[in-house]
Amino acid sequence: MERRVDRMKGVRSEEEKTKLQKEIDALQKDYEKAKKDLQLLTTSNKQLKDECRNIDRVIVKVKIEKGTLDSVIGELKLENEMARGDLETVIKNKEKTLV
């Protein structure tokens, strides 16, 4: 009966105390490991977000450069078309003068 009363009061035997202490130590180690993992994952997440932002900036710059290059290509194609037309005119005039 005294053991039950002591148990209700929170008194533990030495065996129970050592068992509970081992369990506390094991859980403390798990907690520390989880804490380190969380810190590592948080750091990795920040780095990945930074890389993502940098890549997005590069994509925007490349799109702007692509637009610029597309307009330059369009202008050069137009110049080529005009030069071909001028060349054909010159060739026709040359042929007329040869005949």
Q: How far apart are CA 18 and CA 21, in angstroms?
A: 5
pLDDT in tens, 47-94: 999 999 999 999 999 999 999 999 999 999 999 999 999 999 999 999
pLDDT in tens, 45-60: 999 999 999 999 999 9
pTM of the model: 0.59
Locate 43 and state its tokens.
């750091």
Domain spans in the chain, listed from the N-terminal domain onward: 17-98
DSSP secondary structure code for residue 4 in this structure: H
| Burial status of residue 63 (CB atoms within 10 A of its CB: 0-12, 13-18, 19 or more) | exposed
